[in-house]
Structure 1
Amino acid sequence: MNEPRLSIIPGWIIADPRLKGKDLQVLCMLGQNANTRHGWCRRSQVKLAQALNCSRSTVQSAISRLVEIGAVERREVVSANGRDSAHWYRVIYDSNVPSSAFDAWDEDDQKEFDPNFEGDVSAPPADISAPPACPEQAPPAGSGQAPINASTLTPAFERNERDAAAGDVLKIEEESPKSIEMAFKRFFLGWKTAISDSEPDARREWLALPPQERAEALQHSEAYQAAALSTGRKHLCSAAKYLKEQRWTKLVEQRPASPQAESTESYSVFSRAGRAMLISKLLQPVRPLTLSPIEQRIVDTSPGKSDLIWRDKKEKQGWPDAVQLIERRRFKVSNRIVDLSKDFERVAVGGEIWDAWKRAYADRCWPWPVAPDVLEFAQFPPLPAGVVDLDKAVSIAIVDFAEKLNEGRADDAA
């Protein structure tokens, strides 16, 4: 097998609406050829164009766009006589590499990628010694705890979020322009109206916030959107307005006195409260979605697959809050949702009513939580009495629960 089996790229880029033409394929080529030791690759744009059956200008435009988006880092290489030489590229999912590292890597890759290299490319002599160790002594150990060796695969802003979730205290490290931009992209792409929203306006408001408030805006973004949409409103404010008016503070301020306070108990998605929480997320408007370049190409060449692709996309991405609940083993539920679920009924796994609920989820493109083998019963909203058709009864039960959920929407205002 001559070609690498895998191409590693960041997951967030797949559905990015800024991608065009060959962008994703170029990114995959760079990810496929990344060196396993240092993550960089040195590739000729001409060879990339030949592999993708396109012009060099197409590859050049795609790389420039990927660099601008923040998915690729480029390090230009200038040959001794000024002629073009293959550049270094890195798919961004790692920390910065010191510039001195490129000198060592160039020795390994110069022959293959630099057409102007005429030096001796044979194996280096065995008598070349390693550079001398630094004569300075290591600093004395302090009395405190040893520092945490954070993985270089995790950006600083993501570690801040993780630490905040674990300790309920938001820790802010010194920000770099790259980490600020990456945090903004994560925030903006997570905003449900991002596809029709103004990214420049949102970025301007993002940069106007101090680091602490940016971290808080990102941390509470998902909770704010869920709370705002749970009131029954059909439209969400723009990302820029959320940032400019610091709307996450309203959510935080209302939380102590809110009737939506979470219960102290955790629930699974198959319990009464857990199922009620899941359905409440599924009753929210579907997230605006767009096809990726690869998906669009499939639809263009095989129109018959359009429905299948859209259904799969809605099920996996249309209700991200619901998908997150399904992926978590246990989670907290608001007290109001717990109260609304008290009349839920037990349904035998694999029975007729279970299958009717499964069909209802499929008809709506809702993600269906797969029951573990040991599960015998799950909880669902009660079916109306006197309705023989199970599919119709399930539809009525969903409508009835939605009406109960919306009765107290004035109390849920964010």
Structure 2
Amino acid sequence: MIMSRVFRMNLGGCNRKLLAVRLADFADDEGRGIYPGVARLAAETELSERTIQRILRDFVEDGILMVVKEASGRPGQTTRYDFDLATLFSYVATPTGDSVSPVGTARGVTNETETGDTDDRDGCHGVTRTVIEPLVEPLSERDAREGVREGEEGQTAEQAESPAAIERAFRKFFFGWKTSISDSEIDARKEWFSLPTSDRTDAFDRSADYQEQALTTGRKYLCSAAKYLRERRWTKLAAPKRAEDGPVPSKPFSRPWCALRLVELLKPMANLPAFPPFVRKMIEDGRLDAEAQQRDRIAQHGWPAVNELHARASNFPPKGSLVPPDVAAIADGFTGIKVGGSVYEAWRRLHEARQWPFLPNPGKLEYVQFPAIPDGSPDDIDEAVAAALNAFERSARGVRGDEHAA
């Protein structure tokens, strides 16, 4: 899927596109799991190793690639990358890209244009999944109007909203639509720009509900994004029915989601699978470090429920989870922690000490949720974070029972 899309993009030069296509071949359909060595990429693309290194560095700086794990320097352990699909699919090449000039766009397909729609006469596509998860962040008035210049007094929102802000809002909507891969982006964008501001906001806010209701009524097909906008289908939605005491749908990095994650981490470690014979042989020969391999194995298999939460949060679009109501209730004691700050790093050290997998990449989020540090905690930040975890563990035992909190 990613290869097909990259083939139609303008990435700033043939060398950049060639490498991006090869990286997409390594990745799964969610853009994860890219860890070929530079020498292998150079041999397969016929580019020099220095060119490979330069383009990889440029892709990371552009936000197209995310470094998941740096190379350790040990044989066979290369840097692991994941694609940031949102950045990749919205990438616009600049004139200062690769040293090789890109193909002219007069006749080709660029990132801003697509070939004709592939849907049927009714504008609908087959869909296999029947549950639509919400995006990480809803479209807000601030998001929709980000970058708007201040106008004259009395200027309406319709007049003040900039085309760039409308385009950013469109991309959030379009890439959250289940059939966006096969939809016509051109048609959807045309319909989006024809809507007034209030309708665009409503169309986005109710798009996830519409998709969920459309696919849970027994329909096999979901209409295209353009048809949804053209026919204003969000206005025909039935009021959502929620079970009063049922699970709470929660977005990644929200308070309930982070509380569920910690509740799962407080459970005993799962049984670890044995090393494959070839790994044992490499450890015996001294080619792999036994402790490092054991740490990786614990991170991958020790808490499978947590790894599943992390994988869903790293998906594109990000997928939330259903949180039991009793766990959601104890999330009220969580507070926002600045990503990269001293408290955030103290939580990271606590995870490492317990051999827990740490949070996945929060992307552009500035704050993530952790239990608040209780009053009277020690001045030492690591001890204070440990006190916060202990307080949460007591709360978790109270609502989940000892079998749920080790």
* TM norm structure 1: 0.36
Larger Rg: 1
